[in-house]
Structure 1
Amino acid sequence: MSFTLFVDARLALARDSLAGLSTGDALGERSASSASVDLAEGALPPAPWRWTDDTEMACSVLAALVDGGDIDRDRLALAFAERRDPRRGYGDGATEILRLIHGGTPWPLAAASAFDGQGSCGNGAAMRVGPLGAYFADSTARAAAQARASAEVTHAHPEGIAGAVAVAVAAALAARSRLDGHRPAPERLLAGIAAALDSGTEVHRSVNRAAGLLGRPLARVVAALGNGSRVTAQDTVGFTLWVAATHLDDYPAAIRTCVRAGGDVDTTAAIAGSVVAAHTGVGTPGGVPEPWLAAREPLPPWAP
């Protein structure tokens, strides 16, 4: 189906993805910090669930789209730096990059300075980009291009950028299938994501491996793809997209799977949640449960 979305429709899809991202982030963070968390209905941890840097940066990405329609990298870099709340769990690498930007260092130099000039291949660009993908549900090419722009301000490494492109394209395809009224087969969804990636990246190889692991036990999937423990795009994105492809019509199941897998749970749940919620929406059968969303602390007042 070829179509063009009006701005209100774009924003509605992106907000649903953001709801899935932020709720997964907050519940994943709570789950990672407490061995007693039970995600069975009626046995959830007490509210409020605090979200992390994943959500704060995702809100800035969506705000940039609402303000300009496209990603302005200069403005986005400054927004990331000015809005950084150190209480939200930013990693040391991101903190240093944003400190440099806030101090006046141009973002290309700040991003390239990470890891002795290699740039960051972390999962940070992927964790914040799902709502952008949903916003561009009518064009995976545009979703990929805008995801790349949003990633480059902090991630100069090709793998970090590829992680963002993969998640954005996944969210775009998930939202598009919602508009089409059907759920794509998991292998078809993963093939569509892989087609948008540079075949020379480990992220591309990980997405292809994920397709070969459909239907396999979770422990085997984690052993092959990772669970974000290394906090890189390479050991995070393939796993989260396996989760999203497997549970595209069941948001609670997707989040429970991320929690059971362990690792960087707030980020894996944020990524998988952003893709699945782009397809399911909020408060629908299989969508983000209203009680979960109500338990998540409110988004910042400047969020779109």
Structure 2
Amino acid sequence: MTDDRSPARAVASLRGLAVGDAVGACYFIPLNQPLLADRRLPPDPWYWTDDTEMACSVLAVLRDRGHVDQDALAHSFAEHHDFDRGYGAGVNRMLRLIRQEGADWREQAQGMFSGKGSWGNGAAMRVAPLGAWYGSADLDRVVAEATASAEVTHTHPEGVAGAVAVAVAAALAADSDLTGHAFLDEIAERTPPGLVRDGIGNAMTLLPLTDPRSAAASLGNGRYISAPDTVPFCLWVAAKNPNNFQNAFWDTAIVGGDIDTTCAIVGGIVAARVGVAGIPEDWLKRCEALPEWVGLGSGLA
């Protein structure tokens, strides 16, 4: 923990992540899809997915350990794993084996995709509260902790890079005034070389665009569930809407793709800056409450 604001920043990020996740997930329901074109909210209640459930574990481990203890994080993921929250097949199997058979999470994570590891967007979708927790005072620490959090399930360099980029973005959002090109440039400087970082560079060149669909045509919208196809667009939206949660949400959701995850990432970053007060109150009320085990009543709220 870097200062007394850490819990408040991280909780705001988690709440923004959960709202983005829960509302975004509603647009996968066919009856709700026509509402998206007109930027109309779906009927409530809004239920969050694995994105939020895993982000809760990240924050709970930070609360209890003060850093990313990988063993504790893996076991929290496994203990709180709810199959019905929309986990991918590989992570479902991994967490079930850890919980039921005591499998080694390192072997499971490293063995994904024929030993190449996952480069999906799952490590990026849950990490914004971590960046908000540490803030921008020590970005080297943010990078190290984000890397540790990613490796529990995503060992491919691109999966790790996606988590690093989102964590740095949330850290900068939490306590700096960087926006636009300067915001993206700082993130790119901290992101390991590869497709994710190349995508962030591309996002910088696309900042003059006003239609998010045009940006997504080049950057991706999470359709392929990969970090390179997801993270650069989310950072473009956050750079364009650093102080407006609603605008950021709609600019993210309108492009389709992996809507719950892209909206979770953007919601977690922007909420780190605007705080819980910057999330529409009625959106918070209509969203499923966060689980008691995350400990928002134990010094985090």
Both proteins in one fold, TM over 0.5: yes
- Quote the offset at 1:40 in angstroms: 7.6
- Quote the offset at 1:221 in angstroms: 1.1
Structure 1 SS opposite 2:238 = helix
How many residues are matched? 290
- Quote the offset at 1:140 in angstroms: 1.4
1:44-193 equivalent positions in 2, closer than 5 A:
44-102=41-99, 103-137=101-135, 138-177=137-176, 183-193=177-187
- TM-score norm. by structure 1 comes to 0.92
AA matched with 1:302: W
Q: Which runs of structure 1 show a deviation greater than 6 angstroms over 4 or more consecutive aligned residues? A: none
Preserved CA contact (<8 Å) 1:39 1:256:
no
Residues 116 and 5 (structure 1 numbering): CA distance in 2 closer, same or farther, change over 3 Å? closer
Partner of 1:263: 257
Preserved CA contact (<8 Å) 2:212 2:252:
no
Structure 1 residue 290 corresponds to structure 2 residue 244: no
Structure 1 residue 204 corresponds to structure 2 residue 197: yes
The whole-number CA distance in structure 2 between the counterparts of 1:38 and 1:23 is 16
Structure 1 residue 246 corresponds to structure 2 residue 240: yes
Q: 1:223 aligns with which of 217, 220, 227?
A: 217
The whole-number CA distance in structure 1 between the counterparts of 2:36 and 2:192 is 39
The whole-number CA distance in structure 1 between the counterparts of 2:266 and 2:25 is 14
| Per-residue deviation, residues 163-190 of structure 1 (Å, max 9, x unmatched) | 000000000000012xxxxx32310000
AA matched with 2:259: V
The whole-number CA distance in structure 1 between the counterparts of 2:37 and 2:79 is 35
- TM-score norm. by structure 2 comes to 0.93
The whole-number CA distance in structure 1 between the counterparts of 2:79 and 2:2 is 31
Structure 1: give runs of 5+ residues left out of the alignment.
Answer: 178-182
Partner of 1:28: 24
Preserved CA contact (<8 Å) 2:162 2:196:
yes
- Quote the offset at 1:218 in angstroms: 2.2
Preserved CA contact (<8 Å) 1:94 1:154:
yes
Structure 2 SS opposite 1:96 = helix
- Quote the offset at 1:26 in angstroms: 0.2
AA matched with 1:294: K
Preserved CA contact (<8 Å) 1:29 1:265:
yes
Partner of 2:299: none
Preserved CA contact (<8 Å) 1:148 1:164:
yes
The whole-number CA distance in structure 1 between the counterparts of 2:2 and 2:33 is 43
- Quote the offset at 1:303 in angstroms: 1.3
Preserved CA contact (<8 Å) 2:36 2:254:
no
- Quote the offset at 1:5 in angstroms: 3.6
AA matched with 1:109: E
Partner of 1:180: none
The whole-number CA distance in structure 2 between the counterparts of 1:268 and 1:185 is 19
Judge which range, 93-102 or 144-153, deviates more: 93-102
- Quote the offset at 1:281 in angstroms: 1.0
The whole-number CA distance in structure 1 between the counterparts of 2:238 and 2:118 is 25
AA matched with 2:6: R
- Quote the offset at 1:142 in angstroms: 1.0
Partner of 1:9: 5
Preserved CA contact (<8 Å) 1:227 1:236:
yes
Greater helix proportion: 2
- Quote the offset at 1:93 in angstroms: 1.6
- Quote the offset at 1:38 in angstroms: 5.2
Structure 1 SS opposite 2:178 = coil
